[in-house]
Structure formats: structure tokens, C-alpha cells
């Protein structure tokens, strides 16, 4: 049980760090959790305002996930 709680804490910390990094790099984006897809541990929806490049934000999301 303790390992599962620890894993959830690590995941929550990683998600918080991901969201913070994205908001710092791309002010104006909106993020919200969504139901996990298939075997994913978490999923988020990122709303990108028109003045930002959707492709750039998507690429940065992937880079940050890999970094974490």
C-alpha cells in the first residue's frame, strides 16, 4: 500500500511540474485533467489560444513529458 501511495505522490508532483512548466513557457494556455485514455496514468487537455502555435505547444508538451 505504501508504494502505491508513493507512486501516486510522484505522479501528482510530475503532473504539477509539467503544468507549471507549460504555463510559464506559454502564458494564456488553459489546462484541465481529463479521463485517462487506455493505459495512461493521467491525461490533460491543453487549450491553446489562437496567437500561439498549436504545434509548438504540442511539441513542448511531449518534450516536458519525456524530461520528467
Residues near 60 by Cβ (< 8 Å), separated by ≥ 6?
Answer: 22, 25, 26
Number of domain units in the chain:
1
Compare 68 and 46 and report the one with higher pLDDT.
46
Q: Is the pLDDT of residue 19 over 80?
A: yes
Looking at residue 4, its pLDDT comes to 66
Residue numbers of the domain that contains 54? 2-67
The pTM score is 0.80
Q: Is the pLDDT of residue 49 over 60?
A: yes
Compare 8 and 53 and report the one with higher pLDDT.
53
Lowest mean pLDDT among 28-32, 34-38, 52-56: 34-38
Dihedral, 45, 46, 49, 54 alpha carbons, nearest 10? -110
Amino acid at each position: 500500500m505504501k508504494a502505491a501511495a508513493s507512486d501516486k505522490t510522484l505522479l501528482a508532483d510530475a503532473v504539477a511540474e509539467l503544468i507549471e512548466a507549460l504555463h510559464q513557457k506559454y502564458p494564456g494556455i488553459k489546462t484541465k485533467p481529463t479521463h485517462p485514455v487506455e493505459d495512461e496514468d493521467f491525461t490533460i487537455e491543453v487549450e491553446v489560444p489562437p496567437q500561439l502555435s498549436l504545434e509548438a505547444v504540442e511539441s513542448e508538451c511531449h518534450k516536458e513529458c519525456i524530461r520528467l
